Amino acid sequence: MIRAAQDAAQATRDFRPEEIGVVDNTEPLFVQEASVHQREMKLRIPFESPRGRFDTLVRFYPSLTFRLADGSLVTGRGECSPLSAPWYSYECHNSVATALGYLIPSLTAGGPGQAPVTGIDSFIRRYRWVQGHPTAKAGVEGAYWDAVGKIHGMAVSRLWGGSRQSVETGTSLGLEPTIQALMNKVAIAVEELQVARVKVKIKPGRDLDYVAAIRARYPAIRLQVDANGAYDLFRPAHLATLKRLDEFNLMMIEQPGPNDDIIDHARTLAGLATPICLDESILGLAHARHAIELWKQYSDLTKLVINIKPPRVGGYFEAIKIARLCFLNGVSVWCGGMYESALGKTANVHFSARAEVDLPGDHVSLAPYFVDDVADSPRYGAGRLRVPTGPGWGLGHPRGL
DSSP 303-371: GEEEEE-HHHHTSHHHHHHHHHHHHHTT-EEEE------HHHHHHHHHHHTSTTB-S-EE---SS-SBS
pLDDT of residue 396: 78
pLDDT digits (tens, 9 = 90+) for 329-344: 999 999 999 999 999 9
Residue 84 CB neighbours (<10 A): 17
Which one of the listed residues 137, 150, 199, 201 is annotated catalytic? 201
Range 280-298 burial, b when 16+ CB lie within 10 A, else e: bbbbbbebbbbbbebbeeb
Instruction: Return the pLDDT at 1.
Output: 37
pLDDT the model gives residue 324: 97
- Does residue 2 have a pLDDT over 50? no
- In the Cβ-directed half-sphere of 183, how many Cα atoms lie within 13 Å? 13
- Span 213-253, pLDDT tens digits: 999 999 999 999 999 999 999 999 999 999 999 999 999 99
pLDDT at 4 (0 to 100):
45
**Helical spans, DSSP H, in 172-231:** 179-187, 208-217
Q: What is the mean pLDDT of residues 4-24?
A: 72
Ramachandran sector of residue 339 (left: φ over 0; alpha: ψ -120 to 50; beta: rest): left
**What's the average model confidence in pLDDT over 203-218?**
97
State which amino acid sits at residue 320.
I
Domains, the chain, in order of start with CATH, read: 18-154 (3.30.390.10), 158-386 (3.20.20.120)
Helix (H) or strand (E) holding 171: strand 166-173
Cβ proximity of 351 and 160 under 8 Å: yes
Q: How many CB atoms within 10 Å of residue 210?
A: 21
Taking residues 111-137, report their average pLDDT. Answer: 92
Going by DSSP bridges, is the β-strand pair 30-49/52-67 parallel, antiparallel, or unpaired? Answer: antiparallel
Count of beta carbons in the 10 Å neighbourhood of residue 236: 8
* Integer Cα distance of 105 and 34 in angstroms: 8
359 Cβ partners below 8 Å, 6+ apart?
168, 197, 251, 305, 332, 333, 334
Amino acid at 248: F
Q: From 253, 295, 255, select the one nearest 274 (Cα to Cα).
A: 253
Q: How many Å apart are CA 158 and CA 57, to the nearest integer? A: 31
Tell me which amino acid residue 379 is: R
| Residue pLDDT, tens place only, 245-294 | 999 999 999 999 999 999 999 999 999 999 999 999 999 999 999 999 99
Q: Which residue is catalytic, options 137, 150, 199, 309?
A: 309
pLDDT value of position 9: 43
Per the annotation, the verdict on 309 as an active-site residue is yes
Give, rounded to a whole angstrom, the gap between the first and last alpha carbons of the chain: 53
Residue 53 confidence (pLDDT): 79
- Listing DSSP states for 109-167 in one string gives TTGGGPPPB-SHHHHHHTTTTS-S-HHHHHHHHHHHHHHHHHHHT-BHHHHTT---SEE
Give the pLDDT confidence score for residue 367 in this predicted structure.
77
Q: How confident is the model at residue 113 (pLDDT cuts 50, 70, 90)?
A: low
pTM for the full predicted model: 0.94
Q: Which residues, in sequence order, are bridge partners of residue 107?
A: none
Q: Could you confirm whether 42 is annotated as catalytic?
A: no
Residues of the chain with pLDDT > 90, as a percent, come to 85
Q: Is 60 exceeded by the pLDDT of residue 208?
A: yes
Length of the chain counted residue by residue: 401
pLDDT in tens, 34-59: 999 999 999 988 877 767 778 899 99
Dihedral pair phi/psi, residue 95, rounded to 5°: -70, -35
- Stated as kind and residue range, the H or E segment containing 268 is helix 262-268
Q: Report whether pLDDT(6) > 60.
A: no
Lowest mean pLDDT across 25-29, 197-201, 221-225, 305-309: 25-29
Among residues of the chain, what percentage have pLDDT more than 70? 95
Query: Taking the CB of residue 220, how many other CB atoms lie within 10 A of it?
Result: 8
- Max CA pair span of the chain: 66
Asked if 92 contacts 85 with a C-beta cutoff of 8 angstroms, the reply is yes
DSSP E strand boundaries for 174-288: 198-201, 223-226, 253-254, 276-278
Rounded to whole angstroms, the Cα distance separating 310 from 92 reads: 16
Q: 397: pLDDT confidence band, cut at 50, 70 and 90?
A: confident
Identify the three-state secondary structure at position 385.
strand
The upper half-sphere exposure of residue 63, i.e. CA atoms within 13 Å in the direction of its Cβ, equals: 13
- Whole-number average pLDDT of the chain: 93
